[in-house]
Structure 1
Amino acid sequence: MNAELADTLETDPLDRLGFLLARHGAIVSSRMEHAFALCGLTLRQGATLILLGRSGNMSQQGVAGALEVDPSVLCGILNDLESTQFVERRRDPADRRRHIVAITEEGGRVLAKAQEAIEKVERELFADLTAEELATLRDLLSRVRTSKGDIACTER
């Protein structure tokens, strides 16, 4: 065990990194869920629209891989997004077994509204951090050891 980790273990239990990450993670998750809910979306639906808004369209399998969700879970997310006409699925003309998922105009409008809500949440959360500190935080969090098999989020 390295000396820094040993020092951390001897501090106040509420200051342990795992606890702090869990606490702040829960708060951030709650605020993000609220921001998406204002737009009529769940967190996973919002993440799906963000991905499709960036990529234009993708295969259904590609969306599942990018979001790291089981294809059966993605099917439910896409069913809900399709019923609100935020996305559309169509067969890939090059391979009729594949479905292509695309964001619709209405989905683009909802996505713009959701992105504004998310940006507001992030401005509030990170108001006391400089751009350099945010870059450092992003880098450090990307190096925390988790695996694709870990459960990242749940729908409530």
Structure 2
Amino acid sequence: MAATTQDGHEPAVAALVTRVAEAEAELHAVAMRWLDPLPMPAELTLRQLQVLSLLRASPGVTGAALAEALDVSTPTMSGIIDRIASKGWLDREHDPADRRRVLLRISGSGTQVLADLEGPAAQARGRVLARLDADELADLARLVERMRDVARQIEAERDRPGSAAGG
């Protein structure tokens, strides 16, 4: 049996994981040097940013589902939702199938907050990707899609009751 590192990888695989992490960190550092200061609204917290991102990805989600996704209590999430709603960054609507449930959606101004924050990074990414040829882009797309699929798999395992990943 081959020796493994602390994270369970064989040494050759661990070296590749390190290469990927180091290259990704350097890419991030280079891109950050290109960016002007981000137009971060002073009143926007990291947790609110997470909620806005989740609302954009999952329109019509409930506060309870957001609380579960971010591993906070429902009362805590209710306060976060109230603060975001007071800024006009989300819309609430009653579920037509169950009027007791409130469904949440990111508003147009909430979408604009995210666009303002993500725009400069998207431009930096575009500058880099523009220098890759079609074969390199195809390889990158395949690998990023695979990473996304693995992340979804891990998330599903984590969410499965009684799973080792679920804690």
- With CA pairs under 8 Å and 6+ residues apart, which has the higher RCO, 1 or 2? 1
For the aligned pair, the TM-score class normalised by the smaller chain equals 0.5 to 0.7
Distance 1:21 1:44, change over 3 A: farther
**Are the equivalent residues in 2 in contact too, given 1:36–1:46 (CA < 8 A)?**
no
**1:95-138 residue CA offsets vs partner (Å, 9 max, x unmatched):** 34422112223223323323423412433565655321321331
The code of the aligned residue for 1:110 comes to: V
Q: What's the counterpart of residue 106 of structure 2?
A: 103
Describe the SS at the equivalent of 1:134: helix
Say whether residues 1:133 and 2:136 are aligned partners.
no
Describe the SS at the equivalent of 1:58: coil
**1:63-117 residue CA offsets vs partner (Å, 9 max, x unmatched):** 456xx31252644542332232211334445434422112223223323323423
In 1, Cα distance between equivalents of 2:37 and 2:77: 18
Q: What TM-score, normalized by structure 1, do the two folds share? A: 0.55
The code of the aligned residue for 2:10 comes to: L
Q: What's the counterpart of residue 48 of structure 1?
A: 51
1:5 to 6, 10, 17: 10
Q: What's the counterpart of residue 21 of structure 2?
A: 21
Distance 1:113 1:134, change over 3 A: same
Describe the SS at the equivalent of 2:70: coil
**Are the equivalent residues in 2 in contact too, given 1:50–1:111 (CA < 8 A)?**
yes
Distance 1:135 1:22, change over 3 A: same
Distance 1:121 1:42, change over 3 A: farther
Q: What's the counterpart of residue 12 of structure 1?
A: none
Give the gaps of 5 or more residues in structure 1.
Answer: 10-14, 151-156
**1:15-72 residue CA offsets vs partner (Å, 9 max, x unmatched):** 551575378369859x6xx99962424555344334434554332234456xx31252
Distance 1:19 1:75, change over 3 A: farther
**Greater Cα radius of gyration, structure 1 or 2:** 2
> Percentage identity across aligned positions?
25
RMSD of Structure 2 on Structure 1 (CA): 4.4
Q: What's the counterpart of residue 39 of structure 2?
A: 38
